[in-house]
Amino acid sequence: MNSVANPEQLPIVELGSLDELWFQVAGTRCNLSCTHCFISCSPHNDSFGFLSFEEVERRLLEAVEWGVKEFYFTGGEPFLNPQLVAMLERTLAFGPATVLTNGTVLKPEWLERLRAAEQGSLYSLEFRVSIDGPTPELNDPIRGPRTFERAMQGVDLLVQFGFLPIVTMTRVWDEGQDHEILGRFRDVLRQRGYGRARLKVLPRLLLGAEANRTCGYSSSDRVTAEMLIGYDQSQLVCQHSRVVTDRGIAVCPILIDSPGAILGDTLQAANRSFAVTHGACATCYQFGAICTNPSHK
Amino acid sequence: MRLAFFGGIYSNHLALAAAIADARSRGVDAMWCLGDLGGFGPHPDRTCELIRNNNVSVVQGNYDHSIGHGLNDCQCGYTDPRDNHFAQLSYDYTLTHNCDDHRTWMRTLPAQQRVEFDGVRLLLCHGSPRRTNEFLWDSTTSTQFLAKMCDNNACDVILGTHTGLHWQRTWDERGAVSTKSRGFINVGVLGRPENDGTINVWYTLLRTGGDVGAGEAPLPWEVEFVPLIYDHERLACEMRDERLPDEFIQTILTGWWTTCLEVLPSKERRRGQW
C-alpha cells in the first residue's frame, strides 16, 4: 500500500466481503415524516417502491453464493409492505434478520407469526425501534405528535411477545450527554417492564430532510484518499454491505438517493469499488459501523 | 488423534489447571489455547506460567495482542459505555500485573495456526480467520458465511473462541446444514461460565482418524464439549482479595453474566438473567 496518497486520487473502497444484504423493502414510503430523515421518507414519497416477496427470495438465493452473513430490512417503514412477515419467515431459513421499524404500526398477529418463525430458526430476529430520546419532548418535535407514546407501545408489544428490541436513537443532543440520556432511557423502559433494554445511538446524517433543516454537509466534510491509508476500512458500511432496492443494488443504506449510489442490477454487478466522496461518508468514517447491530462488530 | 482446545482463560488459572488435568486424564495428544489469556480474573501471571509449563500451544487473542504491545485497551469491541467501563477496569488490572517476560512472549504468538491430522485440515484462530476480534455468534452467523470462510481458507474445520459461548455447526459441500465433513467450532471459554446459571466452564475435545467413535459411516472428526467443574469459590475469594469488581465475582458465583451483555444477539441474550 502506498504510504502517501496523490492529492487528486479518489478515496476508493472495494467491497471486501458481502456480509450484510439490506432490503429497501418499503422503498421511501413511511407513515411518519421525521424532520431528520436522511432519505426524506413520508406517506407520499414514492421515489423508491416496495420490494415483492419474489424479489426478496431471488436475492436470498443469490446471497448464498456470496456467503452473506446477515440480512437487514429497512424503508421507509418496512411493516407498510404487506408481504414483510412472509419475507422475514423465509429469510430466517437463510440467516439472521433485522428489521428497522418505527414501531407504530405493529400488529399482534404479525408478531405471533414472527415469534414462531424465530423459534423454529437457528437465527435471531432482531427489531430496531427508532425513538429519538426518552421523552415525548425530545422525540415528538422530530418524529411527529404522539409518536413517542405510539412507538413505546410498539416496544411494549414486542417485549410482550418475547422479543428484546434494540431502541435506536439518532443523537439530537450533544455527544457528551449520551451517558445521561441512555441512563434516563433505561429507567423509562424499566418502568414499562423492559428491564434489560438494549440501546443504540446513531449519529445524525445531514442528508434529505435533515439537510433541509440544517445546512447539510460542507465541502470540507469529506473523506480523502490519504485518510484511508492505515484506516480499518471494515468500519465503512460500503466495504461489507449492499442494498436491494426496486431500482437496483445500491452501495449502502444511507446513500440510496445520492448520485452514483445504484451500482447495478445484480450482486455481481454491484461488486465494484465505490468512491466515498459524499458528506455522509465522512460521518460513516468518523463513527464507524453505524448501520449494523452491536453484535456484529 | 485426541486434541484439547481451551478458549479464553481470562486469568482463571484454577479452571485452566483443572482443564489441563482433565484433558490429560482423557489421553489427549496435544492441547491448544485459542487466546485471551488475561482479563476478568486474578493474578494473570499464573495463567501464563501454567500455559508455558504444560506444552499448551497458543494462538494470540485480542487481549494478548493488547497486553503484549501495551495498548490502551483490550480491543474487545464493546459498544456500550457500561461494558467498556468494566472492560477497562479489567484491562488495567491485567496490564499492571503481567511481567515483562510474559508480555514479550505474548507479542510473539501467532494470529492463527494451521494443523492437519488424519487428513482433516484445521484452522485455529481467536475470533475469525479474517479478524481476531470478530464475534461469530451462533444465532447471527449464517451457514453460507461459514462455508465461504472455510473455502477461502482451504480448510475443513475452523476453531475459534472470543464470544464466551460454545457452539458448532457442520455442513456439506453445498453449504446445507448436516452432519457432513466441514464445520465451525466455538470451543467456549475457561474464563467464566456461560450465562446459564451454572458455575461450570467449558472446553472442547476434537477426535480424528481412529479415535472417532464407531458408527455405520464414521465421520472424519467429532467434537465433544466438556463441562468443567473447578474451585470457583476459591477463585471468587482471590478476586475479592485483588479488589476486582463485585460484578465479576457474582458471575463466577452465580453463572450469570453481569457485564458485556450489549454485544449479545437476542437469542443468546434471552438465555441469561440480565
**Percent of chain B residues past pLDDT 70, beyond the cut:** 96
Q: Please give the residue of chain A at the shortest CA–CA distance from B134.
A: A297
**Mean pLDDT for all residues in chain B:** 94
- Encode pLDDT of B181-212 as tens digits: 899 999 999 999 999 999 999 999 999 998 88
- Map B34-103 to HEC letters: CCCCCCCCCCHHHHHHHHHHCCEEECCCHHHHHHHHCCCCCCCCCCCHHHHHHHHHHHHHHHHCCCHHHH
Whether residue A6 is contained in a domain is answered as no
**Percent of chain B residues past pLDDT 90, beyond the cut:** 87
DSSP E strand stretches across chain A: 12-13, 20-24, 70-74, 97-101, 125-130, 166-170, 198-202, 241-245, 248-250, 262-264, 274-275
- Strand A241-245 with A198-202, pairing: unpaired
Q: Which of A19, A64, A199 sits opposite B175 (nearest CB)?
A: A64
**Whole-angstrom distance, CA of residue B184 vs CA of residue B171:** 9
Query: Residue A204 has what pLDDT?
Result: 86
Check: CB of residue A243 under 8 Å from CB of residue A253.
yes
Query: Residue A31 has what pLDDT?
Result: 97
R_g of chain A computed on alpha carbons: 19
Whether residue A210 is contained in a domain is answered as yes
Looking at per-residue confidence, does A179 or B246 come out higher? B246
List the one residue out of B186, B140, B190 whose CA is nearest residue B165: B186
Q: Assess whether pLDDT exceeds 60 at residue A100.
A: yes
Q: Would you state the cell numbers that stand for residue A277, as one nine-digit string?
A: 466522496
Q: Which of the four pLDDT bands, split at 50, 70 and 90, describes residue A1?
A: very low
Whether residue A25 is contained in a domain is answered as yes
State how many domains chain A has. 1
Query: Residue B78 has what pLDDT?
Result: 79
Chain B nearest C-alpha distance from A213 (Å):
29
Supply the range of the domain harboring residue A271. 12-296
Q: Which residues of A fall within a CB distance of 8 Å from B268? A: 124
Q: Assess whether pLDDT exceeds 90 at residue B110.
A: yes
Question: At CB < 8 Å, which residues of chain B contact A?
Answer: 77, 79-81, 130-131, 133-135, 137-145, 147-149, 169, 175, 177, 261-270, 274
Q: Assess whether pLDDT exceeds 70 at residue A6.
A: no
Q: Tell me the average pLDDT across B214-236.
A: 89
- Encode pLDDT of B16-65 as tens digits: 999 999 999 999 999 999 999 999 999 999 999 999 999 999 999 999 99
**Mean pLDDT for all residues in chain A:** 94
Q: Which of A199-213, B115-129, B192-206, B217-231 has the lowest mean pLDDT?
A: A199-213
Q: Half-sphere exposure (CA, 13 Å, Cβ side) for B164?
A: 24
Q: Which residues of A fall within a CB distance of 8 Å from B139? A: 96, 122-124
CB contact under 8 Å between A124 and B140, yes or no, is yes
CB contact under 8 Å between B140 and A65, yes or no, is no
Query: Residue B61 has what pLDDT?
Result: 98
CB contact under 8 Å between A65 and B142, yes or no, is no
Q: Would you state the cell numbers that stand for residue A262, as one nine-digit string?
A: 445504484
Chain B nearest C-alpha distance from A215 (Å):
30
Q: Which of the four pLDDT bands, split at 50, 70 and 90, describes residue A292?
A: confident
Q: Which amino acid is at A94?
A: F
Whether residue A98 is contained in a domain is answered as yes
Residue A43's domain is classified under what CATH number?
A: 3.20.20.70
- Encode pLDDT of A248-279 as tens digits: 999 999 999 999 999 999 999 999 999 999 99
Check: CB of residue A104 under 8 Å from CB of residue A80.
no
Q: Which of B81, B141, B169 sits opposite A69 (nearest CB)?
A: B141
Q: Which helix (H) or strand (E) holds B232?
A: helix B232-241
At B188, give phi and psi (nearest 5°): 80, -170
Whether residue A7 is contained in a domain is answered as no
The three-class DSSP label of residue B135 is coil
The ranges assigned to domains in chain B are 2-270
Q: Which of A19, A67, A295 sits opposite B147 (nearest CB)?
A: A67
Per CATH, the architecture of B2-270 is what?
A: 4-Layer Sandwich (3.60)
Whether residue A39 is contained in a domain is answered as yes
Query: Residue A2 has what pLDDT?
Result: 44
**Whole-angstrom distance, CA of residue B180 vs CA of residue B158:** 14
Q: Tell me the average pLDDT across A35-53.
A: 95
Query: Residue A288 has what pLDDT?
Result: 85
Sheet (strand A241-245) strand order = A198-202, A166-170, A125-130, A97-101, A70-74, A20-24, A241-245, A248-250, A262-264
